[in-house]
Amino acid sequence: MTLRADLKLIAGMVPEGARVLDLGCGDGALLAWLAEHRGVRGYGIEIDEGQITRCIARGVNVLERDIDEGLLDFPTDGFDVVVMAETLQAVRKPGIVLEQMVRIAPRSIVTFPNFGHWRCRLELATAGRMPMARHLPHAWHDTPNIHLCTFADFEALCDARALTIYDRKVVNAQYQDAWYMNRWPNLFGTIAVYGLRRPGAAP
Amino acid sequence: MAETAHSDAHSVGLVKAEQADFSGPFPLASGETLSAYSLMYECYGELNAERTNALLICHALSGHHHAAGYYDLEEPKPGWWDVAIGPGKAIDTRRFFVVALNNLGGCHGSTGPASLNPATGRPYGPDFPTVTVPDWVRAQAALADRLGIERWAAVVGGSLGGMQAIQWALSYPARVGAAVAIASTPRLSAQNIAFNEIARQAITADPDFHGGRYLEAGTVPTAGLRLARMLGHVTYQSDDGLREKFGRAVRSGDLDILQDVQFQVESYLQYQGKSFSRRFDANTYLLMTRALDYFDPARAYGDDLVATFAAMQARLLFISFTTDWRFPSARSREMALAALRAGREVSYVDVEAAQGHDAFLLPVPRYLDVLRTYLAGLEGQS
């Protein structure tokens, strides 16, 4: 089984044998891969009926649940790693979800598309229209993405909520990196993978 | 129409009930002992050579061993869970050897309050001992032994049947591959117990009940049973479901002059109550509702549901229905989260359905699709 490029990036940040919670786990591809290759015991949270059935079909543990309805009943440090891939921009209260993530596990991995990418900036500046791109394929009025942000916005939020960023990988839409993305991530990076923890949590 | 049903390729077709007799003593959780007992059961599909594809169906309050197929070609209605059991159905009899039974204390042929008490030669009646969900599961294990089934690929049940699936995983961790609890709960709420108590009072207050010795008195407490069933039936439906089905439609009478008005929902409930009172034993109803009330597996684990699930080995699947207010989604969610915290393999699905608690018996497409997909992924099947 080959893993989608963005999930491969995340998988590289998950230690062997970890207990993993995947928020917005989709069809369960990441958890299935981690179980097979890393001996990970994982659980997915998903709200889409079709995706839930796909998880069940591949033997991935999945709990039907709306992330926005809260994660308070998950115990503190009940997991080793919490993952949220390309879901942050679709939740109602991203700040609260991030705070809950760093509580539930000592390590959180978050990925999301960069609205500050130069193509987005150019389209808004020149055409005066909400940008659509390969990593942002939806029209503004018909999109699950209700909280798009730039890398700079995200880092400001983490700063305000006292969340420690312990890792950051910036890549393009093909999930490759390049020196200019590392030099000017908020301008050239398309997707970012952030490692977060609460202050004081062991790195 | 019945003809089409019988020739349906997805029906198990004609089936036959079997009886297994056990010589006791069979000690019960209450401290009492049954000297001997019989269980009625049915089997669908073929047990494979390795004996790894057996699947147990546990029934709910009013269920029994006739879960699928027909006894004869004249029978208008198939077994109670025919929507889920059959070749190519969610519980696929081409893959699984399916066993359904009538529980101890039932009134469909298994030893129960209407059976003769060997000590007196008269029907047990109110003297039939209290039985609990763990008692049922031990009796089911005896049946499994008799059938040469060391381990179930899955134990599946809805409502009170789901409690038995959970209890199986707890009582016999090594004998259950997967436990599937549908529209179930880890314990009854005060409201649940209250409804059960009203139903019991309706039965015991019926003058024809005769303190439970109605068989000897030659009566049947039909009025009490009718009332109990009507009450229960309302709690198994949702407000939306009843509105969709009946609204305020009038069956007879005249709303303009307020003469002899009967709403559709009234006549429906009366029909349900009446047909139930003809086929169900009042003492069994009391016994089954008590078993529901007493079910509380976490009690032995300091009321800690996480510790309870930690004692299991089975994979778990919980399914709830959004309009079920008898055993609401929150109860299944609570079990799923506790199982997750206990490190069990667990999935949980909350199916949108208008039919309330009863949805577990009905052909709700997403529900049956999830059940089919889950069971298809289990080990041991043919």
- Give residue-wise pLDDT tens across range A157-171: 999 999 999 999 988
Higher per-residue confidence, B295 vs A144: B295
**What pLDDT band is residue B375 in, cutting at 50, 70 and 90?**
very high
Q: Does the active-site annotation cover B357? A: yes
pLDDT value, residue B4: 47
Q: Does B330 touch chain A (CB under 8 A)?
A: no
The residues with which A46 forms a beta bridge, in sequence order, are A64
Q: Measured between alpha carbons, how far is residue A64 from residues A83, B113, B208, B218, B337 in Å?
A: 16, 42, 48, 52, 11
Q: For the segment A75-127, what is each residue's pLDDT rounded down to a tens digit?
A: 999 999 999 999 999 999 999 999 999 999 999 999 998 888 888 899 899 99
For the residues A10-31, what does the mean pLDDT come to? 96
Nearest CB neighbour to B369, from listed A43, A53, A63: A53
Residues in B touching A53 (Cβ below 8 Å): 369-370, 373
Nearest CB neighbour to B340, from listed A53, A55, A63: A63
Task: State whether A63 and B370 contact (CB < 8 Å).
Answer: no
The answer to whether ipTM exceeds 0.85 is: yes
Q: Does the active-site annotation cover B324? A: yes
For residue B338, the one-letter residue type is: A
Task: State whether B347 and A78 contact (CB < 8 Å).
Answer: no
Task: State whether A56 and B348 contact (CB < 8 Å).
Answer: no
Task: State whether A75 and B349 contact (CB < 8 Å).
Answer: no
CA angle A165, A166, A167 (to 5 degrees): 100
Return the structure tokens found at B286.
């009391």
CA distance B326 to B159: 9
| Residues in CB range of B63: below 8 A, 6 or more apart | B80, B81, B161
**What pLDDT band is residue B266 in, cutting at 50, 70 and 90?**
very high
Smallest CA–CA distance, residue B379 to chain A, in Å, is: 11
Q: Does A72 touch chain B (CB under 8 A)?
A: no
Task: State whether B373 and A75 contact (CB < 8 Å).
Answer: no
Mean pLDDT value across chain B: 95
pLDDT value, residue B7: 61
Listed by number, the residues of chain B in 359-378 with a beta carbon closer than 8 Å to a beta carbon of chain A are 366, 369-370, 373-374, 376-377
pLDDT value, residue A181: 84
Q: Measured between alpha carbons, how far is residue A187 from residues A47, A123, A152 in Å?
A: 32, 13, 10
Query: How many CB atoms sit inside 10 A of residue B352's CB?
Result: 12
Handedness of CA B187, B366, B269, B207 (dihedral sign): negative
CA distance A73 to A70: 8
Task: State whether B337 and A64 contact (CB < 8 Å).
Answer: no
Listed by number, the residues of chain B in 214-243 with a beta carbon closer than 8 Å to a beta carbon of chain A are none
